Structure 1
């Protein structure tokens, strides 16, 4: 089939490469425009645009799938559209432009975690099983019938970045299998079953760690917001980014209290402790938590929500 692919970030690249290596023809790649990155704000192509360039595929760069984008995509005469984390909505008439419509690789077991940040919300909620699904795109958010899915246990200690990379790699073969089935006329989609939950885009505030919660819940939020939007605590009103953390030893520490135990920086929570491994204080670079501890010049007590200090 003639396939048009839409995607933007790194997790979309494995699916693009898999389709380019398949027996189908990728007639065009749709991605968002170059974005300013780094301190110098250098305009940089999206990971999908870079991969498409390596593969010699024509690229349409647009931040909105508007009338102009619809015309450009329709001119390619695609049989099928495949979308993976493009970052924009596909509406009519573009939704019906390909003969077989559009399919979407979504990184959750639908209808759980419909929305922009399914992996992050799954980890924050403490889900221990997750997966990916390929479904038929419809106007309602992530609500179309599902062609196929994969299930996997969440690896212990995996961050959102780790889990998303794994699902993206495994999901690429899922996409090509569904595309093969659609081409052969054997693919069958079934309606989603169960109560939907939503996974809206996270904000910086979602990365705030509340040390009044049990250690397991603090670590769930840490893993779900790493690397984006970033987990963080506060000490004396100054943000402290938490870049790496793990379960801590048994210790009698009140919530937010810091201590150096066997050369490890440990923080008390509502139940249990967590060990801070790598942190980034405000205005400084990332450093081992033990090095940061040695430079502390204030009370070793993290701020808690509602603190007046």
Structure 2
């Protein structure tokens, strides 16, 4: 089938690569315009744009996918179907109507759970034991369309959102190609999502990624893992922001430090929580490098009981 692929970040690359290796013809790629990226905030193309150029594909980068120029080009390309993976903009009804089989979206949750921009992060933060991926028919509603296929993925006790998303990107790419194969053969029909079990996964704002040290250990652990690598969990130390890598709940802290209080031991740095303590993993001071917590403590020299806030 003729395919116009829509995607923007790294997580979409596995699907684009899988489509390029399939029997389907990728006639163009739709991605977000170049934007300021990275620490230097320099204008740069999206990862999908870079891969598309490397593959010699036509690249479509409209500010909004509803302009007449984009819609005219999409109609001229005459795609049979448009697969979507984390494109990053709403597709209007005028564009949805162009391909004969519509647009199919790879979403990283078991719909109707975690509809929205951050399904994997929210699943980790909520303590879900299992998540997965779905391919569904894109509609104007937010992740509401009927589902063509799904897969499940266990959430490991130490998984970060990045770990989980990396696995789902690969398995989801295979699922996406399988769905397109089934649509081409005419053997698939979409199943409406159940009315029960709906939950929402809005993008995580930076303020929500701040650690509440009065929370239970399990919640602190899940927050940090769910915000790794993006947007990054953080706290403050001596009034400055301190970014945190994954922490490790500890059961042998003796009399644990007070919530947010630090204890520097010979081989580890502990921080108190609402019901125990966690061992800090990596930390990054504002403008500094990522350091193991012990190396950071040797430089910062926190006093016993000094607070993270």
SS at match of 2:199: coil
The question of whether the paired residues in 2 share the 8 Å contact of 1:264 and 1:290 is answered with yes
Q: 1:301 aligns with which of 284, 301, 306?
A: 306
CA distance in 2, matches of 1:283, 1:35: 22
Structure 2 CA distance for partners of 1:221 and 1:39, relative to 1, 3 Å: closer
Which residue matches 2:33?
33
Q: How does 1:88-237 map to 2 (within 5 A)?
A: 88-193=89-194, 194-237=196-239
Residue 307 of structure 1 corresponds to none
Q: Is the CA contact 1:250–1:272 (under 8 Å) kept in the aligned structure 2?
A: no
CA distance in 1, matches of 2:287, 2:25: 49
Q: Which moved more, 1:233-242 or 1:127-136?
A: 233-242
TM-score by length of 1: 0.94
Counterparts of 2:38 and 2:199, CA distance in 1: 34
Unaligned runs of 5+ in 2: none
Residues 55-94 of structure 1: CA distance to partner in whole angstroms, max 9, x if unpaired? 2211111231122222221210011111100000011111
- Within 2, Cα distance between the matches of 1:53 and 1:125? 38
Q: Distance in 1 between matches of 2:152 and 2:52?
A: 29
Tell me how many residue pairs correspond in the alignment: 304
Per-residue CA deviation, residues 158-193 of structure 1 (Å, 9 max, x unaligned), is: 111111111001100000000011111001111111
Q: Is the 8 A contact 2:269 2:294 kept in 1?
A: yes
Residue 46 of structure 1: aligned partner: 46
Q: Which runs of 5+ in 1 are unaligned?
A: 305-309
What is the alpha-carbon distance in structure 2 between the residues aligned to residue 187 and residue 262 of structure 1? Answer: 60
Secondary structure of 2:33's counterpart equals coil
Match of 1:291 in 2: 295
Please say which of residues 19-28 and 292-301 is displaced more in the overlay.
Answer: 292-301
Q: Root-mean-square deviation (CA), in Å?
A: 1.5
> 1:279: Cα distance to partner?
0.4
Range with bigger deviation, 278-287 or 105-114: 278-287
Structure 1 CA distance, aligned partners of 2:63 and 2:293?
40
SS in structure 1 at match of 2:236: strand
CA distance in 1, matches of 2:34, 2:209: 27
More deviation, 95-104/281-290: 281-290
3-state SS in 1 of match to 2:6: strand
Report Cα offsets for 1:131-151 as digits up to 9, x if no partner. Answer: 000000011100000000000
Distance in 1 separating the partners of 2:32 and 2:189: 31
Separation in 1 of the partners of 2:108 and 2:173?
11
Please report how far the alpha carbon of residue 232 of structure 1 lies from its aligned counterpart in structure 2 after TM superposition.
0.6
Scaled by the length of structure 2, what TM-score is found? 0.94
